[in-house]
Chain A
Amino acid sequence: MTQSRTLTQKDRGRINDRAFWLLCVTAGVAVLGILAAILVSTIQQSWPALSNAGANGFFTSTGWDPNVGKYGILAFMFGTVVVSLIAVLFAVPVSIGIALFLTELAHRRVKAVVVTLIDLLASVPSVVFGLWGLYVFSSWTKPLYEWLHDTLGGIPVIGALFGSVTGLNFMTAGLILAVMIIPIITSITREVFDTVPAADKQAAWALGATKWEMIRGAVLPHSFGGIVGAVMLGLGRAMGETVAVALVIGAAIQVTPNLFAPGYTIPAAIVNLFGESSGEFTAALIGMGVVLFVLTIAINLLAQVVVRRAEIRMKGAVA
């Protein structure tokens, strides 16, 4: 009697264990399922637009007029690239500076405060940045842009970047985005700096290096790969950012070197136009979503490979 009871208890325990394992595996695999479902369903829905992309010039034409069935997304892709490049260009030096400040300069107390502030910056909703950019920031930057246009606009080649100023433009969108991606680049760069072996730093100190010389000789060379990865993750974020850009970019479909001209990006176009679209128009917008999805996934995967490879090399250096 007693023997059979312990047996059933044991069995029940084993069944519970298997059931719990199954539950956990299912939850883990859900991530894979969702990603696959996104890819399949979006491609399927946008097939009417993507299937004859070559003939319609989906990727190669700037002609966009849903009324007559013209869907060329080149101007949107151009805008996305320009805005994210501006964002990365401004955010990267600042983020590296903050990360160095946190790892090499700040006292423990100051560090805690700064980390909290950067966390707060990360948690400000993007739509609030957009609202602020639209009604406050853009009116501040306009005189600056006009001054840049007056002083640099006349120079050949480079002058084309500083054309006549419109209120909402690529530059404003890029700057707002830069502020928004600073937290993510900072946090990854900081993790990378933290892995620099103490021995390398002490070696630099022992040679009589100043703090800056120690950073240049020991910290930066060691962290190069990780920084590249962080920058790419920031780039991925910038490309996908939607509402803040939609509010401040000015919604003009054009390809122009002028950074002070209004433009459009892929996510901004989707969120602005999706409500009023139907049929092939919707398919084209979802097709733009597929392009964005594939681009961000490619950048993210590449960034992870770079970071991971840099990590392995760093661990090798410690051993």
Chain B
Amino acid sequence: MTTMQSAVATNGHAAVTRASLRRGALPLRRRAMDILSKVLMSISLLVAIVPLILVIFYVIQKGAGLLSWDFLTEDIVASPRRTGGGMGPAVAGTLLITGIASLIAIPLGLLGAIYLNEYGRNNALARFIRVMADVMTGVPSIVMALFIYIAVVLTMREKTGLAASLALAALMLPVVLRSSEEMLKLVPDELRQASAALGSRRWKTTLSVVLPAAISGITSGVMLAIARAAGETTPIVVCAGIAYGISWDPMVEQTALPAQIFVNAALPFAPAVERAWGAALTLMIIVLVFTIAARVVASRFAIKNR
């Protein structure tokens, strides 16, 4: 505040003689502070970007040598000391587990979002659900994994791919719900009114007018949620068990890429660590493809704001 008052004073004074609004007219200390702040902002940006680049660089450098069609499709070797083998069961498991989780979480999250934005709006229940969904977003994945372990694995008496899917679905649900709601909120009310004026009911308006208008934003949010879910490790470790061969049956034990990275990284054998890097590269490719696709979908088909 004092600097601003002094700014007024110097400017007022300058106006009497000759107004100089050039940068050079500023006192050195103020100019230095300004430049310093800009430098610090740029440095903080670098502090975040450099690790990202380094992580991507090392994953490619250490994983690229292993990546091949065989690595993606072959069974996992039973002894971690041995070289060779692939990540086939983990790739299949990641696709299967994440796929089933998406099939559960996306419809549920979308319907919930429709309730919040089209029906509940600002009533007490909708506001409560909103707060709780935000809280649920913050629930650590390990807690969600323990919950599904208790609720599903203990009752079925075995670890299954399905159990891991349910845990991932529970983690995805609040993300899908809140991001879809934000997109529904962007749909102009005139569209709803026009549809209502033509005599359609609420459900018809929602399904045939509101949803199509918001679908690109919703898709982008959903894809980001899928990318996050594909990288979740703890639900797989706690609920899915282990597998060495490819199986597409969700009712048996499964494995997935994040779990393989986690388990192999902690082993003291060089071939296992190498496989961890290979699996990391595979997982990164899957996640990045989804993330970038989400960006493209969002920007290409964005709703024009009124």
Contacts and interface: CB of A to CB of B under 8 A. Distances in A.
Interface of A: 13-14, 16-17, 19-21, 23-32, 34-35, 37-38, 41-42, 44-45, 93-98, 100-101, 104-105, 114, 116-121, 123-132, 134-136, 179, 182-183, 186, 204, 207-213, 215, 217, 233, 236-237, 239-243, 246-247, 267, 270-271, 274-275, 285-286, 289, 292-293, 296-297, 299-301, 304
Contacts of A296: 138-140, 143
Contact of A37 (B10, B114, B147, B277): B147
Interface string B240-252: 0000000000000
Contacts of B134: 300, 304
Give me the 3 closest cross-chain CB pairs, A-B, nearest first.
A240-B140, A125-B231, A97-B44
A279 B283 CA distance: 35
Interface string B106-132: 011111101110111000011011011
23 contacts: A17-B203, A20-B206, A28-B112, A28-B125, A31-B112, A31-B133, A35-B139, A38-B143, A97-B44, A120-B52, A120-B291, A128-B261, A210-B30, A212-B36, A213-B3, A242-B142, A243-B234, A267-B142, A286-B150, A292-B142, A300-B134, A301-B131, A304-B134
Given A121-B52, A210-B30, A217 B4 contact: yes
A100 B41 contact: yes
B26 interface: yes
Interface string B75-100: 00000000000000000000000000
B38 A289 contact: no
A127 B262 contact: yes
A243 B233 contact: yes
Interface residues of B, number: 102
A116 B234 CA distance: 27
B258 A125 contact: yes
Nearest to B144: A38
Contacts of B206: 20
A135 B264 CA distance: 12
Given A30-B108, A242-B142, A41 B1 contact: no
A299 B154 CA distance: 30
Contact of A34 (B114, B126, B170, B287): B170
Contacts of A119: 224, 291, 295
Nearest to B174: A31
Contacts of B192: none
A286 B114 CA distance: 35
Interface string B267-291: 0000001001100100110011011
B37 to A, nearest CB: 4
A101 B41 contact: yes
A293 B139 contact: yes
